[in-house]
Structure formats: C-alpha cells, structure tokens
A = this chain, B = another copy of it.
Amino acid sequence: MGRAKLEIKPIQKSTNRQITYSKRKKGLIKKAYELSTLCDIDLALLMFSPSDRLCIFSSETSAIVFPDRSKRQGIQNKEYLLRTLEQLKTENDMAFQINEPRYEAIHSDVKVINFPIFTELEKELCRLQQQLQISEEELRKFEPDPVRFTSMEEMEACENHLLSTLTRMVQRREHLLSRSFEAPSTQQSIENIEGWEPEAEFKQARIIANSAYASNQLSYDLPLQGIISNPTQTPK
C-alpha cells in the first residue's frame, strides 16, 4: 500500500528501513490494539527495532520471554536455556494437568527462552527492598535483636542512641508546652504551633515513591543498552 508496491524482503538502505520500521510499527501496534479490544483477548507484541531497541505492546499482562538474536551461539547459554525451558515445561505441565489442556502450543512452539529487562515494577521492588532494609536497620538501632548482637560496643551505641532520642523528645515537648502556654488554645494542633517546621522532605519522599506506580502505558519502548539507562534516551 503506497505509491509503489513494495516487495517483502529486507530493505537494503538503512534509512528507508528505519522509516518503514517506524511507520509499520505504528500500524502494527494499532492493529494489535484493535484486535485485542474488539475480541477482548490477551495479546502481546514484541519487537526489536533495527537499532535494537525493544518495543512492547501488551493488551494485558504477563511475562514474556524472547530470544536475543545476537547471542544465540553460546553453548553455555543454550544449556541454560534448555534447562530453564525444561523447568518451565514441568511447571506448565503441572498447570496442564490441573486445568484444561489448552497450552500445548507453549510446549511445541517454544524453543528458546530469554531474560528480563528491568521494568518499573522491578525497580520499585529493589527500591522497596533497600528501603525496608534501611528501615529495619534503623529500627535495630533502637531495639536491637539480642541474638544479633556481637559486641558490648554495639550495645552501648544503642543505649546512647536511645538516650539522645529521648533527650530530644523531652526538649521538643518542653518547647511545645511553652508555646502552648503562650497561645491559650488547649486543643491546638501541633502542626500549627509556631516554630514547628513540618519536615517537608519526608512528605516529598512519599510522593516520589507513589508516583512510581503511575505509569501504565499501552505500549512502550525500552532501550536495550542498559537497564540502568534512561528509557527515553535515543539509541546511538
């Protein structure tokens, strides 16, 4: 479709190939979207651009595994893949026996398995794990698990920590009390007491954490050169 009929074979000129990719990718995703909507089905479309950028469309969900073209020669890898596949097969067979026999295609069609790119979810998982660890460590400073204690110094440090916090608390309260006496309202909320600065930084952190969930896109591109790198950057 176009001014001229195009033969279906690899386009030699790389610029043309890139242009065709962009245009047809768009069309293909649109069609995929339409089909999945019209027929209310799960559908996933994955491709690597000529510049090896991954593009995903998914109507729903799920994890998908896909082979990496440039890396299919490694024997070591093949063995790994086969092992993984075997594992998956087993797991799938279990599901197969329990449920209805609909997933034969999974067995017969699949030959290579592939590996994950870090999605937002994964990043968030890591972030949470780290934060949890930090938080628990912090907690341990106050209330150490006796079993984990290894030295008297640690114990003393903990005591000091508790003591200094306690001191700070008392000072804080006294500060508040003196303010309260100046302003007569007994039911006055603490936030409104003068000289009491809400720690904005804390709130900010929470907002950032939550915004990580906001993304829920129909389709998206991911750069392959690194999980760490910015997804919106252009490939070289």
Q: Are B76 and A67 in contact (CB under 8 A)?
A: no
Taken together as a complex, chains A and B put the C-alpha atoms of A81 and B119 apart, in Å, by 13
The interface size bin for chain A is 35 or more
CB contacts (< 8 Å) of A183 on chain B: these are: none
Q: Are A63 and B66 in contact (CB under 8 A)?
A: yes
Q: Specify how many copies of this chain sit in the oligomer.
A: 2
Taken together as a complex, chains A and B put the C-alpha atoms of A228 and B220 apart, in Å, by 16
Q: Mark A46-90, 1 if CB is under 8 A from B, else 0.
A: 111110111110111111111111111011110011001101110
Q: Are A118 and B227 in contact (CB under 8 A)?
A: no
Q: With A106-B226, A115-B112, A163-B166 as known contacts, state yes or no: A74 contacts B98, CB within 8 Å.
A: yes
A208 adjacent to chain B (CB < 8 Å) = no
**4 interchain residue pairs of minimum CB distance:** A74-B95, A112-B115, A112-B116, A77-B109
